[in-house]
Amino acid sequence: MLLDMQTLDSAGRGPLGSMASLFQKTRRSLASVGAAVLILLLAFDPFIQQIISYPTRLTAIHGGTDVATTKMLDYFAMGVNYDLVYSSGLWSDNDIVLSSSCSSGNCNWQKFQSSGMCSQCSDVTKSMDLECNLTANETSAGNFTQGSRYINVTCLLTPPQGKSTQFHVHSSYVALSPPVWTYETGGLSWHVFSAYDSYGLDLDQTKNQPFNGLGDPLMVIAYAEIGYNEDYIYSDFISGIKVDKATVCSLELCLLEYDVSVKNGTPDVVTSVLDYGQLLWRNNPRNSSFDTLCWKPTSGPPDITFENPLSDYTYVQLSPVEFAFCGISYETKLSPNLFVGSMFQHHTRGHTQESGNDTTGLDYSPDGDPNALRISSVGLDSIMSNVAKHMNKEALRLNGSDVHGDTFVTEVFVEVQWLWLILPTILVLSGTIFIAIVIIQNKKNGTSLWKSSVLAFFYHGLHEVDKDDSMTASVMEKKAEGLVVQLQESEDHGGLILKEKKDLM
């Protein structure tokens, strides 16, 4: 009976009683198991609530009219105003190349390849050749004590390969107190190379030797920043002229790989360059007196054939080698003034002859050609990257073919979190096993089922009740039928206690 009473006490007092039962010295193993089960039942409801969730997922739509499309190029040939495209790249920062159609706002495409235009840039500062000479038989600047003097210097700047450019540097000396020197620094941009020898830019090097260092470009632009070393300003003015930085950038045909997706209406385009390819010349199918410029991937065979023109209105020829084509538009040539210009900045320095030190200094804002100022502020590498992107965008708009992708819509799913079922399953199984063991044990001992009434609470909690600690549950039930209790003030400590009614009479 002791086992049944301990278990009954734990169950009657709830989880707190079960907790106390676990730390009783007289606890038995089976009663402890029941107390543990009761305590763990506190977590039953929270675990049950976590079993089922309703996540949203993107589901592909197969068929129907809601089709995801974007563009790719089999060949790069356009019939547009190239000067307009170049100017847009020079003055615009818009870098969106691919326009994708995705009505659901969530689409995905497999990676695909496309012809395109790329840019590459290289720092050639250390390789530039600078040669400067005085204009009009002037002597180099020296220390002047009276009067004024103007110095004009003509410089020739030559890159490692391609066309040179000429620029001028002006300086003046004014005999004030203290004397004042002025000099100029600046920047200049020019055409270094063109695959088409338009406007006498350079020889057609694709027929003789390729332009080294930047793949096989259609054209190359250079930009140089001209600085000055003030250590020479009062002694040998020409020696102070220097090249602070020089950059050459190319535009060249390439093979691109696009990884395109649209998520929640926002497009994400990752572009990789797979191959810069090679330019080559072939007989013009419409005029044998002239050659036509072609392009093929580097991986293509050395001897490559091209089929007849696509139509009567185009020189474009395709090849069995994928992405190889002829008929690169002659309009890709650069006009004389595009990307060409110079900018300058005036500097003023005062001088005290006695101390030999500068006493005043003033740097003015840059001035000059808009194109050169734009390149100076943004950087030639960014400019040429924008130009390539605008060329690709226009080519895709005019000659692009559709690439279809998968369209996704958001749907609600019912998901079962099976791990959250572990505790409820263990509790149900352990509770069932525990009840079965208690029933078998009570039947074996000939006792009635435990927790059949609240008699144990009354017989342990009543004050001075006439009870026998050894009476059985059946005797307790009979005695309880005639037992009347009432809350009454305690004579010992003044609190309310339950007393048998006979004590009150």
Is the preceding peptide bond at 320 cis, omega within 30 degrees of 0?
A: no
Structure-token match 């395709």, residue found: 318
175 residue type, one letter: A
Residue 249 CA from chain centroid, whole number:
26
How much helix, strand and coil, in percent to the nearest 5, is found in the chain? 30, 35, 35
Burial 232-260 (b: 16+ CB within 10 A, else e): bbbeebbebbbbeebbbbbbbbbbbebeb
Query: What integer pLDDT is reported at residue 291 of this predicted model?
Result: 79
Q: Which of 173-187, 280-294, 374-388, 448-462 has the lowest mean pLDDT?
A: 448-462
Query: What integer pLDDT is reported at residue 398 of this predicted model?
Result: 87
132 residue type, one letter: C
Rounded-to-integer distance, Cα 398 and Cα 393, Å: 9
C-beta pairs of 439-444 under 8 Å, 24+ apart in sequence: 441/3, 441/30, 442/4
Query: What digits encode the pLDDT tens for the residues 77-114?
Result: 777 777 788 888 888 876 677 888 888 888 999 999 99
- In terms of Cα–Cα distance, which of 49, 33, 23 is closest to 429? 33
| C-alpha torsion 386→113→272→67, nearest 10 | 80
Q: pLDDT over 70 for what percent of the chain?
A: 75
Query: What integer pLDDT is reported at residue 464 of this predicted model?
Result: 64
Query: What integer pLDDT is reported at residue 202 of this predicted model?
Result: 43
Please give the full DSSP string across 66-135, using - where no structure is assigned: --EEEEE-SS----S-HHHHHHHHHH---------B-TTS-EE---EEEEEEEEEEEE-GGG-EEEEEES
Other CB atoms within a 10 A radius of the CB of residue 351 amount to: 19
> What are the residues facing 219 on neighbouring strands?
194, 251
164 residue type, one letter: S
Query: What integer pLDDT is reported at residue 471 of this predicted model?
Result: 63
Query: What integer pLDDT is reported at residue 2 of this predicted model?
Result: 31
> What are the residues facing 132 on neighbouring strands?
155
Query: What integer pLDDT is reported at residue 259 of this predicted model?
Result: 94
Residue 202 CA from chain centroid, whole number:
41
Q: What are phi and psi of 13, to 5 degrees?
A: -90, 0
Both tokens assigned to 449: 């089922």
Q: How far is CA 380 from CA 79, 194, 386, in A?
A: 26, 17, 10
Q: What are phi and psi of 183, to 5 degrees?
A: -145, 170
Rounded-to-integer distance, Cα 482 and Cα 475, Å: 12
147 vs 3, more confident: 147
Query: What digits encode the pLDDT tens for the residues 222-265?
Result: 999 999 998 888 778 899 999 999 999 999 999 999 999 998 88
Answer whether 221's CB lies under 8 Å from 248's CB.
yes
| Confidence check: pLDDT of 7 > 60 | no
493 vs 103, more confident: 103
Rounded-to-integer distance, Cα 170 and Cα 67, Å: 63
The 3-state DSSP class for residue 7 equals helix
- Which pLDDT band, with edges at 50, 70 and 90, does 141 fall under? very low
- Beta-strand (E) ranges in 264-285? 266-275, 278-283
34 vs 127, more confident: 127
Other CB atoms within a 10 A radius of the CB of residue 441 amount to: 14
Q: How far is CA 393 from CA 88, 419, 457, in A?
A: 11, 51, 87
HSE-up of residue 249 (Cα within 13 Å, Cβ side):
22
Question: In the chain, count of helices (H) and strands (E)?
Answer: 9, 23
Query: What integer pLDDT is reported at residue 438 of this predicted model?
Result: 76
**Across all residues in the chain, what is the average pLDDT?**
78
Please give the full DSSP string across 154-214, using - where no structure is assigned: EEEEE-SSS--EEEEEEEEEE--SS-EEEEEEEEEEEEEEESS-GGG-S--TTTT---TTS
